Structure 1
Amino acid sequence: MSTALFSLLIFFSVTGITLNHLDWITSSKDPQLWQGELDNTVLEGFTPPATDSLLRWMENKHSLATASNIEWDQDAQEVLLDYPFPAGYAYVIVDVESGQYSIDYQNGSFWQIINDLHKGRHAGQSWAWLIDISAVFMVLFSITGLIILWQNRPKRQVGITLTLLGTGTPILIFFLLVPHLSGV
């Protein structure tokens, strides 16, 4: 089990450190703007707010899948599509009358992306499952370690002492040194 978790454990450990020290990480890249024109096939029969053909076209043309928010601004005759992803976004504005569109987008740095993956931020359901499954395996890994420790009589006393110390230290640090609201 430990070998199956090896890479994920290192990943979550390293990103845990980088999340704790965000000042070590370079800032995001500057936002970019891309403009284009929709194919006539998308505009034919396009009647907002029904945006299925537009969404398929954006996915095929720009690899933008799963818009988190779709808005239809009737006054401006625009469709607004929001595509968040780890450490970045793409915001699409489509002028329905002219077929012109613009994509305002930003990509984060490598460290920003893996920090967002650590948190599961805008990473999708598959990544959320990976986080949950790896967490379950880490719990099982820890429990099997305790079982193996319990079976090792010569090292049991030292192991249990270290386990209690490792469990109690964060609790003590929280109550004694971390600001928090108590008595509510």
Structure 2
Amino acid sequence: MTAERRPDAPAARTARRPRTLKARLNVWVRWLHTYISMFSLLLILFFSATGVTLNHPDWTFGGVEKQQQFSGNLPANWNAGGKADALTIAEFLRAKHGLHGMASDFQYQAGAGGLSFRAPGYSADVQFDKSGKYSVNVDAQGALAVANDFHKGRDSGTAWSWVIDVSGVFLVIVALTGLGIMLFLRKVRTASLVSIVLGGLVMGYLMWRAM
């Protein structure tokens, strides 16, 4: 008597049904919303918080504005060839007094000149004459003013300007993908759309009142 053979696994297994376009789109929207939100979380928090502080310029949170004045004489080669050298003057003042930021607004006419250093929450204005004597007025504001200037992109350079632009794009993506997720949820879809419409009407009304 031969041993009974165990039946093999079914030759034809039920094939997994491919995901519909709607299902794949749902997964993609959720993935994009999640990881863009996490990647830009600190940027979103920064621009949200400084948006509030910008609306209240009297808030300082204990930050202290520091003003300083310096004076002295420019190096002998500041006007080599009878022409004021902006780079030589700027680098000398940076090394001498620790000035920082972008040097701009350089001018020299009729024996008098000046230039400015600008950075977020910081300014230094320099005046000098043909004898080489100079004076510097420095205004260094508190940390909150620095953060507010970064929010506005004031005197923060090209790289930070790109950060602001990219942050705006991220916020748009986060908002639109969040909307997309809500549209896939039948139970809250109608309530979500009604909330968006009501929010838009309130915002429009407040803008109209402010004009």
> Normalising by structure 2, what TM-score?
0.72
Asked if residue 112 in structure 1 is aligned to residue 148 in structure 2, the reply is no
- Letter of the structure 1 residue corresponding to residue 106 of structure 2: I
Asked if residue 53 in structure 1 is aligned to residue 92 in structure 2, the reply is no
Which residue of structure 2 lines up, in the alignment, with residue 12 of structure 1? 47
Distance 2:186 2:81 in 1: 73
Q: Is the 8 A contact 1:58 1:65 kept in 2?
A: no
Which residue of structure 2 lines up, in the alignment, with residue 71 of structure 1? 107
Distance 1:88 1:44 in 2: 27
Distance 1:104 1:161, change over 3 A: same
How far 1:130 sits from its partner (Å)? Answer: 0.8
How far 1:3 sits from its partner (Å)? Answer: 0.9
Q: Is the 8 A contact 2:101 2:118 kept in 1?
A: no
Say what the alpha-carbon RMSD is for the aligned residues: 2.3
Distance 1:83 1:128 in 2: 18
- Letter of the structure 2 residue corresponding to residue 21 of structure 1: H
- Letter of the structure 1 residue corresponding to residue 117 of structure 2: Y
How far 1:100 sits from its partner (Å)? Answer: 2.9
Distance 2:74 2:104 in 1: 21
| The one of 86, 90, 93 aligned to 2:120 | 86
Distance 1:63 1:46, change over 3 A: farther
Which residue of structure 2 lines up, in the alignment, with residue 142 of structure 1? 175
Distance 1:19 1:37, change over 3 A: same
Distance 1:11 1:141 in 2: 16
- Letter of the structure 2 residue corresponding to residue 125 of structure 1: T
Asked if residue 155 in structure 1 is aligned to residue 191 in structure 2, the reply is no
Question: Which stretches of structure 1, 4 residues or more, deviate above 4 A after TM superposition?
Answer: none
Residues 19-64 of structure 1 deviation map (CA, whole Å, 9 limit, x = unaligned): 1122223686253101233333x33726334423223333444343
Q: Is the 8 A contact 1:37 1:100 kept in 2?
A: yes
Asked if residue 133 in structure 1 is aligned to residue 169 in structure 2, the reply is no
Asked if residue 31 in structure 1 is aligned to residue 64 in structure 2, the reply is no
Q: Is the 8 A contact 1:95 1:101 kept in 2?
A: yes
Q: Is the 8 A contact 1:55 1:65 kept in 2?
A: no
> Normalising by structure 1, what TM-score?
0.82
How far 1:105 sits from its partner (Å)? Answer: 0.7
**Structure with larger Rg:** 2
Residues 56-104 of structure 1 deviation map (CA, whole Å, 9 limit, x = unaligned): 3334443435322011132xx233011222223101123342x332211
Distance 1:37 1:46, change over 3 A: farther
Q: Is the 8 A contact 2:121 2:142 kept in 1?
A: yes
